[in-house]
Structure 1
Amino acid sequence: MALNLAISPCPNDTFVFHALVHGLVPDAPPVTVTYADVDVTNTAAQRGEYDLVKVSFAALPWLLDGYHLLPCGGALGRGCGPLLLTADGTGRDSWADGDLSGATVAVPGERTTAYLLLRLWSAGRPPTRIEVVPFHEIMPGVAAGRYDAGLVIHEARFTYPRYGLTELVDLGAWWEADTGLPIPLGAILARRGAVDPGAAASWVRESVRHAWADPDASRDYVLTHAQEMETDVVDRHIALYVNEFTADLGTDGHAAVDALLRRAAAHGLTPPLPPVD
């Protein structure tokens, strides 16, 4: 029976899961894969649609009753957080201190870690209006004046200057300075009753090891799904988001997840975090 997997088309996910998707992991079942933005997979996971699924850590309070959190395969790190961008420095003086009153901000999803970090940073002074926009449409929208600011993720941190945009705040840097912890961005979940979480973790870890041992093996696959990204941007993307936390969350990774979601619950932004097994 095939394993139903949902990941993003971003280079870090395709790089990590290449071996599993292509039957190169011993003893793993065949895999049927769906590619979708994380806002889509967050919602699909709440409906229990996938056996293994990439979601935002910010969505865990709504998902852990139906899924196990795997200790590998996700996206955490340092220096890799979301950026809040404006056109030509608009709002730099009035919004840089976290007061986004009066602003319309494009975000990649309501239950993304990026948006949760924005809400924590601007606590008590949120944007007047939020619009959920596919992440690849955010920078063009801000540049065209459709939004006052845009919250961007992934490779946008390498490419935003070409849109004439200015960084208002690096929310990852803010989080790291405030907590000393890495930024918990994306998690891999295994659906309860559908797949053994220990087995799933071993398959994902082996896929990560395979990716690091033979990076060229996944090259064509990664580039096919990279949404017209240049090769150097793809390489920088993978180097930043596939790191020691991808192989194992470890003590710091688990502490980061716990800190983010406990703080969010304390501010009334998410339900309390259920026990993580």
Structure 2
Amino acid sequence: MVACALAVLRIAHTPDPDDAYMFYGIVSGAVRIPGFDRVEHIVEDIETLNRRLVEEGWEVEVTAASAHAFAYIAERYYMMVAGASMGEGYGPIVVSRRPLRSLEGAKVAVPGRYTTARLLLRLATGGGYQEIFARFDRIPDMVLRGEADAGLLIHEAQLTYREMGLVKVIDLWEWWSNTAKGLPMPLGVDIVSKRLGLETAQALRKALQESIRYAWNRHTEALEYASRFARSGTREQLDKFVRMYVNERTLDMGPEGRQAHILLYQMAWDEKLIPEPVEPEFV
């Protein structure tokens, strides 16, 4: 058993179906966490978590975060090799009401200052557009109403934008694939406070891996739970989305996943898009 002074373990994650799915084993009580009497769940959208971590100095035992946000808090948190959302063959996209040749001078709705999608778009294009920060789930309607010329989509809207009458302008996976030479695309991560110590952090990572396996083994049950958090799309689209972002790479990002994060931070530092060089400590 891992010794820990804290009886209550706080786990923060997003109300997104993929996060809900992977934490189902823990939420249901099927996966027990050594050293903790109970688990307290905090559910917030990803940019709220990012801002609390980066701007407020929030300390929580385990939380989801954008890989971009991690660059600002790497001295305080370990990065888990489990729980990461990584694109392979898909990723964030930019959409508009009609085809655009360029984003130069356009008003682009982006899902938060610290999201990885925002960082990737800046790396891919070099900027030149006007950012409008908005909750990710408001962005399609902002584009449809003309409040923004284009929108950067994450989560389920990547699958449903055509049904909304929107067209794809930029596919960030295509850019990343050409740039990263086959590495998966970093998007979201789960992180553990370093104040817990390495041994406890490793135990928490193993618990998350067990929780993911539990959901896989009870896929219909776990998907039903995750569906409570879905904002759009059919059951089939939800199933597809969960399978896209809860996969073997989520269980363990592997050496390619580690290399991808290191590359992202090197590229971001080279362009001075993050405050300092980052070398993640993986658990």
TM-score when scaled to structure 1? Answer: 0.92
User: Matches of 2:202 and 2:221 in 1, distance apart?
Assistant: 26
Q: Which amino acid aligns with 2:164?
A: Y
2:33–2:204 CA contact under 8 A, matched in 1: no
After superposing on structure 2, the runs of 4+ consecutive aligned residues of structure 1 that deviate more than 4 Å are none
Structure 1 residue 227: Cα displacement: 2.6
Q: Which residue of 1 aligns with 2:241?
A: 237
Structure 2 residue 43 is the aligned partner of structure 1 residue 42? no
* Secondary structure of 1:76's aligned partner: strand
- The answer as to 2:272 corresponding to 1:255 is no
Contact 1:88–1:165 (8 Å) recurs in 2: yes
Match of residue 56 from structure 1 = 66
What's the CA shift string for 1:4-27, capped at 9, x where partnerless? 111111111111001112211134
- Aligned equivalents of 2:221, 2:60: Cα separation in 1: 26
1:233-258 Cα shifts (integer Å, max 9, x gaps): 21011111111110101111001101
Q: Which residue is equivalent to 2:13?
A: 7
Identical-pair percentage = 32
Instruction: Give a deviation string over 1:173-221, Cα, whole Å, max 9, x none.
Output: 2101221211111000011214621111111010011111111232332
Moved more, 224-233 or 66-75: 224-233
The one-character-per-residue Cα deviations of 1:98-136 (angstroms, maximum 9, x if unpaired) are xx321111000111110011101111x421x21111111
* Corresponding residue to 2:78 among 68, 71, 80: 68
Aligned residues: 268
- Whether 1:187 and 2:189 are equivalent positions in the alignment is yes
1:62 positional shift: 0.7
What are the equivalent positions in structure 2 for 1:76-95 lying under 5 Å apart? 76-89=86-99, 92-93=100-101, 95=102
Q: From 184, 200, 204, give the equivalent of 2:208.
A: 204
Instruction: Give the direction of change, closer, same or farther, for the CA distance of 1:27–1:135 in structure 2 (3 Å limit).
Output: closer
Deviating more after overlay: 132-141 vs 60-69: 60-69
Alignment partner, residue 164 of structure 1? 165
Confirm or deny that 1:122 pairs with 2:125: yes
Is the 8 Å Cα contact of residues 142 and 148 (structure 1) preserved in structure 2?
A: yes
| Amino acid aligned to 1:251 | P
| Contact 2:96–2:150 (CA under 8 A) maintained in structure 1 | yes
Is contact 2:262–2:279 with CA below 8 Å preserved after alignment?
no
1:273 paired with 2:281, answer no
Residue 266 (structure 1) shift:
0.3
Question: Amino acid of the residue matched to residue 156 of structure 1?
Answer: A
| Structure 2: tracts of 5 or more residues without a match | 1-6
Pairwise CA distance, 1:275 = 4.7
Q: Matched residue of 1:150: which SS?
A: strand
Q: Which residue of 2 aligns with 1:141?
A: 142
The structural deviation recorded for 1:63 is 1.1
Residue type of the alignment partner of 1:84? V
Mapped partners of 2:32, 2:66: distance in 1: 28
